[in-house]
Amino acid sequence: MGTVSTNDLKTGMALDLDGQLVQVLEFQHVKPGKGGAFVRTKLKNVRTGAVVDRTFRAAEKVGHAFIEKREQQFLYKDGSGYTFMDNKSYEQVTVPTEDMGDAVNYLTDGMTISVMTYNDEIVGTDLPAIVELEVTETEPGLKGDRVAGARKPATLETGLELQVPLFVNQGERIKVDTRTGEYQTRA
């Protein structure tokens, strides 16, 4: 682990502060009329998801954490968690369900995602922005029922429930935004 000056912080950068792995969500360099400059930040704890505001003196040194991203293919889910295979070394690793977060709503067999590791500890996943999933359960659409903006509930192959337009039927494949969890379009 190296150090980085608070003047060089960037959004998305990972830091090791007091043994806690955090990611910079926002930062603002402030130079008041009197007194020294400082950097106001919004940090997200990678392990717990807690967001905190923290202020640093300008040019203060903080620990820089190097998070490695590896392309891994999702193989299967069992009682111990989600099993992935490294695309280069073919090594398999199981991630506990509680460490997967919202990613479980979008994973399908064979999907390739980026798994983020820090000191050989899995700290998160990076999904594609849009995934294609099958609608397994929804009410049938009625001919002529085309009210603009009207929605109905649907259950997808991963168990995710979301609102879809009235014309989407069971068995169809749709595209879902993994950042917002919302329907985008038919596939």
Residue 146 has a pLDDT of: 62
Q: What is the pLDDT of residues 169-182, one digit of tens each?
A: 899 999 999 888 89
Residue 19 has a pLDDT of: 84
- Match domain 130-186 to its CATH number in 2.40.50.140, 2.40.160.50, 2.30.30.240, 1.10.3720.10: 2.40.50.140
**pTM of the predicted protein model:** 0.70
- Match domain 2-64 to its CATH number in 2.30.30.30, 2.40.50.100, 3.40.50.2300, 3.40.630.10: 2.30.30.30
Quote the mean pLDDT of the chain: 87
Q: What residue segments make up the domains of the chain, in order of their start?
A: 2-64, 68-126, 130-186
Q: Which CATH code is given to the segment(s) 68-126?
A: 2.40.50.140
Domain 68-126 and domain 130-186 have a common topology: yes
In terms of Cβ atoms closer than 10 Å to its own Cβ (0-12, 13-18, 19+), residue 121 is exposed
Q: Any idea of the CA torsion for 55, 60, 61, 64, to the nearest 10 degrees?
A: 40
* pLDDT values of the chain reduced to their tens digit, one per residue, 187 residues: 688 998 899 988 889 988 888 989 999 999 988 888 999 999 988 877 789 999 999 889 999 988 888 899 999 998 888 899 998 999 998 888 887 878 889 998 899 998 888 887 888 788 888 999 999 998 886 666 566 678 889 999 999 999 998 888 899 999 999 888 899 888 8
CA distances from 142 to 4, 28, 35, 165, 169 (A): 59, 52, 68, 12, 10
